Amino acid sequence: MTTMVQEKNVTVPKKGKQIYEGKAKKLFETDNPDLVIQEFKDDATAFNAKKRGTIVGKGVINNKISAMLFQLLEKESVPTHFVKLLSDREMLVKRLEIVKVEMTIRNIAAGGLTRTTGIPEGTKLKKPVLEYHYKSDELDDPLINMDHIRELGIATEEEMKQIDKMTLKVNELLKAFFAKAKIDLIDFKLEFGRHHGKILLGDEISPDTCRFWEQGTGRKLDKDRFRRDLGDVEGAYEEMLKRVSEKLS
């Protein structure tokens, strides 16, 4: 079941040439300069693309989950780039000038936080930990701070204050939503961009960009199953789509 919340009533522009291809998505221009088409792929990467593979159906699942969660956030006054779901793999989005800071917010220790601090995996953090990562494949997306952001001219202090506030709000909204689906939101990554000077949430929100653990069992329902060769990767993604869909039906 993949019931969607109501989408915006917009005219779909004509799809044009491909303008970008990343590890998980492609972007295509349209005949509207303010809009692009975002297409989700089944390609899977980990450890900054040092590990590569395919998760069958991942693009379809991530597209649908992202669309539902963007619409959920829009209803809570979080501005996003989402405009309309176009097909199983495509969504229409607002064209963004991406702010080259990946926002990682952590509620329970796992992944990079465990590696860099030694905090045992599964430790509930006293308060959410917010990290900035410089969006650079060549540098392996290193941790940076506000001084680095200022020096590199990535964003203004006012923009980063706004992005911090939006990230914390998204965290609280999604934690509460996933708790209803019996899922703990361990950590996740967000990306933001500028659209006519306004900061919008972009990219995707999916098992590719979040860590989801089933409450009670700790079963991982995200890309860690691919990273760690845990098996049943497709099953985990399908389970997340099922739970999100059921809560928004």
Q: Could you write out the DSSP letters of every residue in 36-91?
A: EEEEE-SEEEETTTTEEEE-TTHHHHHHHHHHHHHHHHHHTT--BSEEEE-SSSEE
Q: What is the pTM of this model?
A: 0.94
Q: Dmax of the chain from CA atoms?
A: 51
Rounded to whole angstroms, what are the CA distances from 45 to 24, 28, 225?
A: 8, 21, 12
**What structural domains and CATH numbers belong to the chain?**
15-95 (3.30.200.20), 98-232 (3.30.470.20)
Per-residue pLDDT of the chain (249 residues), as tens digits, is 334 444 567 788 999 999 999 999 999 999 999 999 999 999 998 887 778 999 999 999 999 999 999 999 999 999 999 999 999 999 999 999 999 999 999 999 999 999 999 999 999 999 999 999 999 999 999 999 999 999 999 999 999 999 999 999 999 999 999 999 999 999 999 999 999 999 999 999 999 999 999 999 999 999 999 999 999 999 999 999 999 999 998
